[in-house]
Structure formats: C-alpha cells, structure tokens
C-alpha cells in the first residue's frame, strides 16, 4: 500500500485514485485513475477528447515538469473564416458568440484533443501501472452506471444568460448524443437516478486492449475521421496523427518567501504570478479577509491581469508575449502604485455576454513526496458524440477570437489561451500547497484567493478553498452570497459596481492539498460534489 491523498470534485473519482494508491501505485497512477473515472461520471466536464495541463513534481526521480495537452485548432482552420459571424464577446473576454453558434456547438467547434495521449504518456514515463488496468474503474461506471450527482444534474439543466445555448442543447441536438443522455420519456436523468453509457465502456475496453494510439492512429481514429468528414468538421485524421503533447518546465514566481510553480502559456499561470507580484506590495492581512478594501485591492489586480491577458497572452508558438515585462517586479510596482492611487482599471469588451465554465480537476500526493495537480476539460462541450463511441468531443473553438490580428485569433495548429493553472507552492524547496481548479476564466481568480488564504491568512486547505470568494474579470465585481451586504455597500460607496450571485460557493471550484509538519490536509470545494480522501 502507498499512503497518500486524493482530492477532486467527484467522490467516485477520488475513490478510484485512492484505490490506485492502496494497490501500491504512486501519485501519478492515482491522478490518472481519478481522471479516467471523471470522464465517466462527469462526462461534460472532461473526457478523453478533451484538453488540459498536468503538473508533476517527482523528487525521487529528479523531475519537476508539465505535460501540457492543449486542444489545437485543426489544419482546416482559417483566420478569417468566422469574422462575419461575430455577435458578441463574453463578459470576461474568454469566448465569442457567433451566428448559428458554429464555434460553440457541433462539429466545427471541435479542436484536436489531447487528454488521452497525456494520460498514457504520464503513465508510461512516471507511473507504475498500465493504462488498461487503470481504465477498469471507469469502464465499470460506464457499464454499470453512476448515480447522477447534484452538480451533474445542475449542469445538464442550466440555462445560461446572455445568449449562450441552454446546456440541454448539448445533450439533445445530435441523435447519437440524445440516445445516451435522454430517458425514453425524452427527459434527462435527475439527481439520484442512474446513468449508463455502455458505448463509452466498449470504447474504453478497446483502448485498454489496444492502447491510446488507437485513438490517434488506429481503428478508433478512422471511425472519428469518417464521422468528421460526413458532418463537415474541421477536425481530420491528419490532425489526430500529428498531435503531440508539450513537455514544459514550470513557470516560477515568488510571493512572501514562497516559490510558486505554475504552468506556461497558453495556460493561465502567467496571470496567477502577475497578480501575486502586484499584491505582494500590500499588507493584505492587515486589511482583513474579504473586507471592502481587500476585495477592491484584489479586484484591481484581477482586472489588470485580465487586460494584459486580452492584449498579450496566447499560444507562444504563434504570439510574441512580453513575459519578462508582465512578470517583472518593476511592472508589479507600477500597477500597485495605480491601485494605491485608487485608479480603477477598465476592462474593454465587445458587446459583452457571459461564458460557460466546464472543467474538472484532481490533486494527488503520496508518501514518497510525489505530487500531481491536473486540470482537464472539454471547454464548452461540443455536444457531438460519434455513433457507437460514447464519448463527447471538446468544443474549444469557441474561445478563439474570430477577429483576425489578435493574440488569440484563429490559426491552424494554434492553442487558445486557457485559465487552467495547476499550481504548487514551495517553502525551503519543499511543496507546501498543491492546488488547482475548474471554472473557466474564474480559475486564476479562485486559485489566487486560495493561495492567499493559506499564505497570508494561515488557513488550512479546507478553509482556504471554502472561504467566500469574489471575482473581477470585467468592470463589475462579482460576489458570492456569503460576502456580507454591508461589505458590498462599502464597495458601492467606493464607486464599484457589484453583482451578487445566489450561490454561496462560486468562482471556480478550488481543490487543494496542504502539507504540514503533522501530515497532509485536503480541501474539496464545497460548491462541487467532491472530497479529499487519504489512505
């Protein structure tokens, strides 16, 4: 048995990760077992046709690395192909609404997926178990079914504001998808009912037998390609054949005597470090947690980083990002001075709307000091399932800018910016916090607050991820319902427009494991369905 801890938004997935540890596996085995079950029991949050970023710290091997597996625009993509269809930009600058929703749902919304390749690569390089063995729990949940949890039911029935399609459209528009997700009476299952997906189970058995290569170059790839050609998709078998993950060294920063390791662009780690650099100039603890001054200070740092993201951050293979300037202490000082002068940063938007956030996360540690934090996703799910294969494809084309000339504009082979930022915090060269989150562009803002809660306010993992949060990715400061109204009134008195959600837990779903002299403590975001479990 290997002792360790697993933390994720789904109890079934956490249990699979812990069982991998109990059977002698390491933190990498546990993370992949957890991720595979997540694809079965949270099938719109992630999947083998998704994308993500995996952060691995393996001290006994002398390895500290990322496996980045961002989705890539297919080769058939043209920079100006949707320019004439633009209706609006999402409020947080993380997507666009087009006529006919061609970038948001359906076959043209699919980027080249990387998740399955990344899982297999992590196991072959760093794991102790085979992909086939670790797929067994996921296969059982596909074949025997899982009990629909509250968050799954909530997602299936969510009607978003500001023009995005109701989520039920992603389950009903295409016959192969509707066959899986609708009951005979035409309704989706409710919380507490059992959902089965035997087609996905059969596909997983094929992958367990034939390996991940079958998805990219084998029989499954041929079936995917035939479906894509029939339905005028951008994705082709040439894209699948050419796909490779990207190994990356961590991007490092410092905050109050701690070293912060996070991911590189097109991931969101740059935003996390930029905000921490700015906020290090302030005595946040003396302001009081979630006071009006504290919220206003963080909100301005969030807005500054958002403006810089929109203006500069994208796939570094296509965009020349001024990283040294954005992460310099001098630039942080200039931005902190603006905040001290009470200047309010404006976040420009083109006909703003709100954005969907469909992602999941896993954190694992083991007794050997190995740590993994991985965020993986479908983006906004495409709604597309190839007949007989069972899994849903990502819908990541929706975040590219359909207007040519920008850092996140469309280009063949390009990865979009994503806020995914699986992060580790080190003190004296030892990890003290492993943290990550799902939640679209809210990810970086949720992670920021979780890190500050641990470093500046001394919270354990559970309190750090459960404390009331807020978010500012536009000129509006969004508040969870547990932020007191008298604090909101003070913010309004300072000239800020605020917006209160009915949700008590919101703005990413932060999950974390903290290291102490007494061992690990874990925290699963109370707004999701998950848990932290040790063995």
21 Cβ neighbours under 8 A, 6+ residues apart? 1, 2, 3, 4, 6, 27, 29, 30, 364, 366, 535
State the burial class of residue 159 (Cβ atoms within 10 Å of its Cβ: 0-12, 13-18, 19+). exposed
- The position carrying tokens 């992958």 is 207
- Find the helix or strand (DSSP H, E) in which 452 lies: helix 442-455
- Secondary structure of residue 493 in the 3-state scheme: helix
278 within 8 A of 80, measured Cβ to Cβ = no
Which are the catalytic amino acids?
359
Residue 54's nearest CA partner among 292, 299, 250 is 250
Residues in the chain: 535
User: Which 8-state DSSP code applies to residue 128?
Assistant: S
Q: At what angle do helices 198-210 and 27-41 cross, to 10 degrees?
A: 150
Pairing between β-strand 497-500 and β-strand 476-479 as defined by DSSP bridges: parallel
188 within 8 A of 182, measured Cβ to Cβ = yes
384 within 8 A of 106, measured Cβ to Cβ = yes
- Secondary structure of residue 322 in the 3-state scheme: coil
């Amino acid at each position: 048995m290997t002792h360790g801890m697993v933390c994720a938004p789904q109890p079934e997935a956490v249990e699979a990760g812990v069982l991998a540890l109990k059977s002698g596996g390491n933190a990498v085995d546990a993370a992949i077992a957890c991720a595979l079950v997540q694809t079965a029991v949270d099938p719109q949050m992630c999947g083998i046709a998704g994308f993500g970023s995996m952060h691995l710290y393996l001290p006994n091997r002398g390895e500290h690395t990322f496996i980045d597996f961002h989705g890539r625009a297919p080769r058939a993509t043209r920079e100006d192909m949707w320019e004439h269809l633009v209706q609006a930009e999402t409020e947080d600058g993380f997507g666009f609404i087009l006529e006919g929703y061609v970038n948001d749902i359906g076959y043209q919304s699919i980027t080249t997926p990387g998740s399955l390749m990344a899982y297999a690569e992590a196991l072959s390089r760093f794991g102790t178990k085979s992909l086939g063995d670790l797929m067994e729990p996921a296969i059982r949940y596909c074949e025997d079914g899982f009990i629909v949890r509250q968050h799954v039911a909530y997602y299936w029935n969510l009607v978003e504001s500001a023009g995005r399609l109701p989520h039920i459209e992603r389950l009903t528009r295409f016959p192969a998808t509707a066959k899986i997700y609708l009951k005979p009476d035409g309704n989706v299952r409710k919380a507490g009912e059992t959902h089965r997906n035997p087609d996905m189970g059969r596909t997983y058995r094929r992958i367990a037998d034939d390996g991940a290569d079958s998805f990219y170059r084998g029989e499954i790839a041929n079936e995917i390609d035939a479906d894509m050609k029939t339905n005028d998709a951008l994705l082709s078998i040439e894209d699948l054949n050419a796909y490779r993950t990207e190994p990356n060294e961590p991007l490092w920063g410092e905050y109050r005597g701690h070293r912060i390791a996070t991911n590189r662009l097109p991931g969101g780690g740059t935003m996390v470090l930029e905000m921490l650099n700015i906020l290090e100039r302030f005595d946040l603890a003396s302001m009081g947690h979630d006071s009006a001054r504290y919220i206003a200070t963080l909100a301005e740092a969030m807005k500054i980083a958002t403006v810089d993201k929109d203006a500069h951050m994208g796939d570094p293979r296509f965009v020349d990002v001024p990283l040294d300037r954005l992460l310099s202490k001098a630039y942080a000082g200039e931005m902190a001075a603006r905040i001290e002068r009470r200047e309010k940063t404006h976040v420009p938007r083109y006909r703003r709307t709100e954005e969907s956030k469909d992602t999941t996360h896993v954190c694992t540690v083991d007794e050997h000091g190995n740590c993994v934090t991985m965020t993986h996703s479908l983006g906004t799910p495409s709604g597309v399932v190839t007949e007989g294969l069972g899994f849903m494809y990502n819908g990541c084309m929706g975040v590219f800018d359909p207007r040519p000339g920008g850092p996140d504009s469309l280009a063949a082979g390009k990865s979009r910016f994503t806020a995914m930022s699986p992060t580790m915090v080190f003190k004296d060269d030892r990890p003290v916090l492993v943290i990550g989150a799902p939640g679209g562009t809210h990810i970086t803002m949720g992670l920021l607050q979780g890190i500050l809660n641990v470093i500046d306010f001394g919270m354990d993992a559970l309190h750090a991820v459960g404390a009331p949060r807020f978010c500012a990715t536009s000129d509006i400061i969004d508040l969870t319902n547990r932020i007191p109204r008298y604090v909101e009134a003070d913010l309004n008195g300072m000239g800020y427009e605020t917006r209160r959600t009915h949700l008590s837990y919101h703005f990413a779903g932060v999950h974390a494991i903290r290291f102490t002299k007494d061992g690990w403590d874990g925290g699963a975001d109370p707004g999701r369905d998950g848990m932290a479990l040790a063995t």
